[in-house]
């Protein structure tokens, strides 16, 4: 059997557009941190560029080329998530620690199950502390798109059976690229892998200029 016969590939596109309803007591810079699940408890992390808290517009796009087995691709789309963090950094300490203003989670399956596989929505950020009555929580406008998605995994394939079948050798390759046809801003893509027991073969970052 051809070793590539059971492989699949697709492109995940993420657009970080702008934020609203953000109340700050001091000036500084804002950015969005995103964690993308890559199967078997692995995540890829990347961040938007930092913009002034006076003008919270990014119009930034990230494109990830994903490659792996058909099962791993379907598993990622139907069980994977995108986790967003809206963060603020003081203007007097650019390299200092950032402050978490809110976070949200978006399942990939909401994109895959849409008719166009292209979703643009305002994502409300959950805060640690409750807001006074009448005050709207911060939100970030996010666009997500999937191109060339693999066939959906059948319901007969259970997650635990899938893991048993591949015995921890599931392979998922992601290639990151910042900047795309529909986005005006081009910037560096920051990616990092968090520790997990299963090997992620490759995680590369490319930047178009």
pLDDT, block means (10 residues), the chain with 209 residues: 69 93 87 85 88 94 85 82 93 76 92 87 86 80 84 41 36 46 35 32 30
pLDDT value of residue 92: 67
Per the CB < 8 A criterion, the answer to whether 22 and 29 are in contact is: no
Other C-beta atoms closer than 10 Å to the C-beta of 116 total 8
Q: How far apart are CA 171 and CA 106, in angstroms?
A: 23
pTM for the whole structure? 0.70
pLDDT value of residue 2: 56
What backbone phi and psi angles, to 5 degrees, belong to 165? Answer: -65, -40
């Amino acid at each position: 059997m051809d070793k590539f016969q059971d492989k699949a590939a697709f492109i995940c596109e993420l657009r970080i557009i702008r934020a609203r309803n953000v109340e700050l007591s001091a000036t500084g810079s804002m950015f969005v941190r995103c964690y993308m699940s890559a199967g078997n408890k692995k995540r890829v992390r990347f961040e938007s560029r930092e913009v002034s808290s006076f003008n919270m517009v990014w119009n930034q796009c990230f494109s990830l080329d994903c490659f792996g087995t058909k099962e791993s691709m379907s598993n990622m789309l139907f069980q994977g998530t995108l986790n967003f963090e809206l963060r603020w950094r003081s203007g007097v300490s650019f390299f200092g620690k950032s402050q978490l203003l809110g976070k949200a989670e978006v399942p990939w399956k909401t994109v895959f199950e849409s008719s166009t596989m292209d979703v643009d929505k305002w994502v409300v950020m959950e805060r640690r502390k409750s807001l006074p009555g009448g005050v709207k929580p911060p939100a970030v406008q996010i666009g997500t798109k999937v191109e060339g998605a693999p066939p959906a995994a059948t319901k007969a394939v259970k997650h635990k059976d899938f893991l048993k079948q591949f015995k921890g050798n599931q392979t998922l390759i992601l290639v990151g690229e910042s900047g795309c046809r529909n986005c005006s801003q081009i910037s560096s893509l920051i990616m990092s892998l968090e520790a997990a027991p299963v090997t992620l073969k490759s995680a590369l970052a490319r930047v178009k200029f």
